[in-house]
C-alpha cells in the first residue's frame, strides 16, 4: 500500500468529545473547545466529498443504531480522498464476550474475585446500552470503593489517563430560548401524564448519544467497512497506524493506552 507523505494532510476527528488535537478538524455534538465544530453526525458529515486524507473516530460508532452506523461509515468514505485512511476505535465486543464467559464460569465455581469482574463486565455489556441516566451504574461503580480497580483500569484505562467526567450534553442551540416554540413545547409537556413525562425524559436522554446502540467485533467491523467500499482492512493497536506521525497526536495513547478495551481497525478508500 502506498504510504502518505505528511505534508498538509487534512485530518478529521469525528465525535472527538474532549479528546482532540488542534492539527485536526474536530467535530462533536457540542463544541468542547475553540477547535471543535458543533454538529449532529446523524445529520451527515458536513464536509465536501473527497476532502480529507484521514478520518478517525474513537468510541463513536457504537453510539449509533446499526443502520445509522452504516450510513456514518458510508459518509466517512465519501469525505475521504481516494487512498484516504479511515481509523476506527470501538469497544471490542469479542473481548467483552470472552470476559463474560470467563468470569461467569469462575463465579459459578464460587470464585469471589471473579464475581467482581463478572459484575463489571455486565456493566460494560448492559449498563452502557440500557442506562436511562447519565453515567449509569458504571459512573456509580467508578465512584464507589471498587473491589477490583486493577481489572477495571485494565479495561477502561487509568483515571489519570481517561476522562470519566460527564460527556457534554446535547441540548440544542442557545437560540432556542428566543424561539416561542420552545415555550409552547414546555407548555405541552405540562399536559402529559407522569408516565408520558417519564417516557419523554428517557427518550430525550437516549437521543443524547451516551448509550451504546450497537456493538462490533473484528468480524462485523471488517464486514461493515468492506460493505461501504473500503479496502486493505487491518487490525491495529493503539500505537500502530498507517497515519503518518500517528503517535504525535496522542489520540489513542496519552501516557498509556487511553481505551484498552478497544478494537482498532484501519482501512483505505
Ligand atoms: C464515548 S465518547 C468518545 C469521545 C472521544 N472520541 C474519545 O475517544 O474520548 C462519544 C462521543 O461521541 C459523541 N457523539 C455521539 N453521538 C453523536 C452525534 N450524533 N453527533 C456528534 N457527536 C456524537 C458524543 O458527544 C461523545 O463526545
Q: What is the mean pLDDT of residues 48-76?
A: 98
The residue nearest atom 13 of ligand 1, judged by CA position, is 15
* Global pTM value: 0.90
Q: E strands along 59-196, which residues?
A: 80-91
Residue with the larger pLDDT of the pair 167 and 21? 21
CATH code (residue 62): 3.40.50.150
Q: Cα(16) to centroid of ligand 1, in Å?
A: 6
Q: Cα(19) to centroid of ligand 1, in Å?
A: 10
Q: Which helix (H) or strand (E) holds 233?
A: strand 231-236
Number of domains in the chain: 2
Measured in whole angstroms, how far is the alpha carbon of residue 115 from the centre of its chain?
27
Q: Is residue 152 situated within a structural domain?
A: no
pLDDT, one tens digit per residue, over 16-48 is 999 999 999 999 988 878 899 999 999 999 999
For ligand 1, say whether the CB of 17 is within 6 Å of any of its atoms. Answer: yes
Closest CA to 240 of 221, 225, 262, 269: 262
For residue 164, the model assigns a pLDDT of 45
Q: Is residue 169 situated within a structural domain?
A: no
Q: Is residue 107 situated within a structural domain?
A: no
% pLDDT > 90, the chain: 80
For ligand 1, say whether the CB of 211 is within 6 Å of any of its atoms. Answer: no
pLDDT, one tens digit per residue, over 176-203 is 667 777 788 788 888 889 999 999 999 9
Helices (H), ranges, 109-179: 112-122, 128-130, 136-143, 149-156
Q: Among 66-75, 104-113, 185-194, where is mean pLDDT lowest?
A: 185-194
Could you tell me the residue range of the domain that residue 22 belongs to? 11-92+212-268
Closest CA to 264 of 59, 4, 71: 59
Residue with the larger pLDDT of the pair 2 and 71? 71
Amino acid at each position: 500500500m502506498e504510504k502518505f507523505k505528511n505534508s498538509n494532510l487534512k485530518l478529521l476527528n469525528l465525535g472527538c468529545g474532549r479528546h482532540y488535537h488542534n492539527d485536526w478538524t474536530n467535530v462533536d455534538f457540542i463544541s468542547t473547545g475553540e477547535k471543535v465544530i458543533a454538529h449532529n453526525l446523524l445529520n451527515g458529515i458536513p464536509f465536501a466529498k473527497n476532502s480529507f486524507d484521514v478520518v478517525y473516530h474513537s468510541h463513536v460508532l457504537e453510539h449509533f443504531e446499526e443502520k445509522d452506523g452504516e450510513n456514518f461509515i458510508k459518509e466517512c468514505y465519501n469525505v475521504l480522498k481516494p487512498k484516504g485512511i479511515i481509523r476506527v476505535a470501538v469497544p471490542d465486543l469479542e473481548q467483552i464476550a470472552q470476559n463474560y464467559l470467563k468470569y461467569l464460569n469462575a463465579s459459578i465455581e464460587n470464585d469471589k474475585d471473579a464475581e467482581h469482574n463478572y459484575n463489571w463486565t455486565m456493566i460494560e455489556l448492559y449498563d452502557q446500552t440500557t442506562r436511562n441516566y447519565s453515567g449509569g451504574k458504571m459512573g456509580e461503580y467508578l465512584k464507589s470503593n471498587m473491589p477490583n480497580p486493577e481489572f477495571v483500569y485494565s479495561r477502561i484505562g487509568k483515571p489519570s489517563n481517561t476522562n470519566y467526567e460527564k460527556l457534554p450534553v446535547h441540548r440544542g442551540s442557545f437560540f432556542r430560548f428566543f424561539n416561542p416554540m420552545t415555550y409552547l413545547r414546555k407548555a405541552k409537556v405540562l399536559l402529559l401524564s407522569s408516565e408520558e413525562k417519564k417516557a419523554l425524559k428517557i427518550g430525550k436522554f437516549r437521543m443524547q448519544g451516551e448509550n451504546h446502540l450497537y456493538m462490533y467485533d473484528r468480524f462485523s467491523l471488517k464486514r461493515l467497512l468492506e460493505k461501504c467500499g473500503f479496502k486493505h482492512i487491518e487490525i491495529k493497536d493503539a500505537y500502530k497506524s498507517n497515519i503518518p506521525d500517528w503517535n504525535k497526536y496522542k489520540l489513542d495513547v496519552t501516557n498509556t493506552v487511553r481505551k484498552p478495551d478497544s478494537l482498532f481497525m484501519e482501512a483505505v478508500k
